[in-house]
Structure 1
Amino acid sequence: MLLTMFSVYFSQGICLMITVLQMARLPNIRVASALLSAAFVYDIFWVFISPLIFHESVMIAVARGDNTGESIPMLLRIPRFFDPWGGYDMIGFGDIIFPGLLVAFSYRFDRASKKGILNGYFLWLTVGYAVGLFLTYLALFLMDGHGQPALLYLVPCTLGLIVILGWVRGDLHDLWNYGKGRTENVVDEP
């Protein structure tokens, strides 16, 4: 029964995130920079600064739920397989959706610019997201399980990476102004 409830909530959350990533599109990295920077500050404030005001981290309290164990269904709970106490890790939908929008944008940009897998941005942003997620869990481990704002690690590893790569490759102007003054070349996907 518990496993069935877990799989239903988990799959509904995954489906919701996939739907958002399919429907919402970033027009360029100018908008991505504003969105991800705001989410970056928001995440850090509610995890690290809110305890100074409210005597506990509001983000962590909301994610864990109240004493009944119920929580807002805006996060994924992933069981720890080798934890003798049967704990779980949590990642918020925003920690997947916001960087995911940038990764999806990089895929569209690569297709429209006819860039290959290595000279494009999609592969590198996917690797950057994985590195950012690894750093998040490393910080979680090093800080003895104290909740971490995942966007603190994910934003520099995705937005920072596309800005630096774009600057080095000479594409930063195109990435910044993409879709401005022209229609986007959309390639039909299978």
Structure 2
Amino acid sequence: MDLTPKFHNQYEEFRVLDAHTEGEPARIILSGLPMVEGTTMMEKKQFFMEHCDYIRTSLYFEPRGHKDMLCVALVEPVHDAADFGVLFLESGGVVNMCGHGAIATAVAVVEAGLGERTEPVTHVCFDAPAGMISINVNIRNGKAVSADLENVPTFSYREGLSTVVEGYGTIQYDLEFSGSFCALVDADQFGMKLDGKNILSM
């Protein structure tokens, strides 16, 4: 009986590697992507969002994934110093930077033999929309055991801003950049302490 699938060429195939960083999941897309065009990583991000977003939703959401994971697309870098270009795919789209995703991807490409492995440290450099990300993967007895990440420069963009949050009124915050923009808020404004008991409220 010939059980060879007859629909093989009707579908796109992607090779992925599932990894995690201390429990934070990352699905790394190794192959199957079309050419992601752009002369900068921001242009590649925009191209992916406009032409390849079906790949994100197919590999990220159920039944193949879930809302709490991350996908990382390996693409051609735009700088000679970079080993790979990376696009970080989340539930809402493509983000500029993800620390746990970068660490998981660096260790994964080293363990998968996709680059030269040197002991005690293998250096991996990523081109990301946020900028160049440098990671040292620490090797012991031929195996990756930990990694150190040097992110893009972090800076305070605006301080003393405010917004209205439903149920809490006017909230003061500072706008910071550390690969992506984020708001730093004093938890006292929400009447809570930062501890494990309030994890669901946070």
TM bucket by the smaller chain?
under 0.3
* Higher percent of residues as strand: 2
Q: TM-score, normalising length from structure 1?
A: 0.24
Which one scores higher on RCO, CA 8 angstroms, separation ≥ 6? 1
> Bigger radius of gyration, 1 or 2?
2
Query: What is the TM-score of this pair, normalised by structure 2?
Result: 0.23
